[in-house]
Structure 1
């Protein structure tokens, strides 16, 4: 029914894909394109550790409190990026304090998520400004990255990347095999809250472009796709970053000529890449399975 409605109504297609005056519009989103590429690098790298540590649910929990912080800042008339960052850091600290084991952590996040979303909805309901500002916090806006926000975004992204560079090797080692890492002197317990704070930094900047509801497409899906086609510790981060940058920049370029928020475009590209990687991985698995008996017989 929905497919027929879209197919029969050219007005809907013009809202989704409209490239009139595209060149002029492209000049207006230079900051957003730079922001999208930077977020793709940060999100792609963070995504690898998120998948290794099974923290996809934590991403959602941090995003909800980050949304609450951004909404509170919007209502108070202060820097929205600072509010988003504050909400993310609070969420990271609370998650780290309430849950060490996975079951405890997930329970704490399950409690935080509706609370954070409820606070955000309350603050937005009290806000009397432009409706686009409210909607953008949830679904993202391609023209929302002005120069002050760009400064915040680049600064926080640089901080997150620097922190990742310092802890990357012990962090990935501890994520892959915590028992062996602990036996070799890696501070496994200390790395957990450190990464949660780095994750909070990444989520706080991602919300500025893709919105709170769909941040998972940037911080989870890229590595999930990459891990479907390779297990190489070198290739997974590279592919994850490539997928995240493609999703972000491609989503901005597609959304530019429409009246639709950026999020559906970013998530569609990200999900398509995941499906392709899943199909490639499944094909390799079948080929490997059918090839093993022949090799054994030959041997």
Structure 2
């Protein structure tokens, strides 16, 4: 057996696949719900230019999850608390883009430092530490699934309530303000919804690569459509496909889930980018006089 064959068998292992599949039933359910939430939230992340904020929130979500792991309490709850704290701080401190980026730059190292401290103090299984950073597929038990689904329902309900005014405010904030849309309150509400979505994504994909679930699907969808409705549908579909495909490919392998999810998500983006190159060229035609 060559070295390449050995590496290939480590990346894609399908021995006893049918027996292993029931072990990730909860992860598949949670992944579908998280993909839906991440894809829909990602639409406004792209519209409002917030990818950097997603990364900043994920760092404090990692700190909250690490602290919960150290204390022996619910990791999902700790992750959500950390995310909401970061999202709230960014929303309050960063009304303008320049101020927001400065706030994120301050919060990110603080959250990462806390997370590293908590993991250094944690004396349990090393897999639990690694999973918070790079994702895990078999550690999602029934209580965690309940937390994930319940939080996802709340985020989806919040998005449904503020979808239209948030779309208006994201597309043309000056006109929206003139029409009486409460921009500051709406921005804070969305940041809290984004924080919850990031916390959910961290449970499966890990804190380091959460951007691939919240940002990449929406960015891919934006390459092939300008329709707000189709943008949301494609973004959610791409996110669900990425996370479910990543879980199924990672099953049986010793490699974390994150490389699989990121590869699928990036491949979708690459295909959409290539497809999107043709659309403007066909749409724009020179006028003749």
Q: TM-score, normalised by structure 2?
A: 0.97
Contact 1:32-1:145 within 8 A present in 2 as well = yes
- Aligned residues, how many? 289
User: In the alignment, is residue 133 of structure 1 matched against residue 128 of structure 2?
Assistant: yes
Contact 1:156-1:201 within 8 A present in 2 as well = yes
How far does the alpha carbon of each residue in 1:211-268 deviate from its partner, in whole angstroms, 9 at most, with x for none?
A: 0001001110111000001110111000001100100101111111311111000000
How far does the alpha carbon of each residue in 1:277-299 deviate from its partner, in whole angstroms, 9 at most, with x for none?
A: 0000112233345xx13xx34x7
Look up the match of 2:14.
19
User: In the alignment, is residue 62 of structure 1 matched against residue 57 of structure 2?
Assistant: yes
1:50 shift after superposition: 0.5
How is 1:163-202 mapped onto 2 (pairs within 5 angstroms)? 163-202=158-197
How is 1:100-139 mapped onto 2 (pairs within 5 angstroms)? 100-139=95-134
SS class of match (1:234): helix
Match of 1:29 among 17, 24, 29: 24
How is 1:1-299 mapped onto 2 (pairs within 5 angstroms)? 8-289=3-284, 292-293=285-286, 296-297=287-288
What is the distance in 2 between the residues matched to 1:275 and 1:166?
A: 33
**Consecutive unaligned residues in structure 1, runs of 5 or more:** 1-6
1:9 shift after superposition: 3.3
What is the distance in 2 between the residues matched to 1:234 and 1:83?
A: 34
Over aligned residue pairs, what C-alpha RMSD do you find? 1.3
How far does the alpha carbon of each residue in 1:32-82 deviate from its partner, in whole angstroms, 9 at most, with x for none?
A: 011111011100100001100111111001100000010011111111111
What is the distance in 2 between the residues matched to 1:160 and 1:129?
A: 32
**Consecutive unaligned residues in structure 2, runs of 5 or more:** none
4+ residue runs over 6 A deviation? none
What is the distance in 2 between the residues matched to 1:11 and 1:134?
A: 27
Q: TM-score, normalised by structure 1?
A: 0.94
1:8 shift after superposition: 3.2
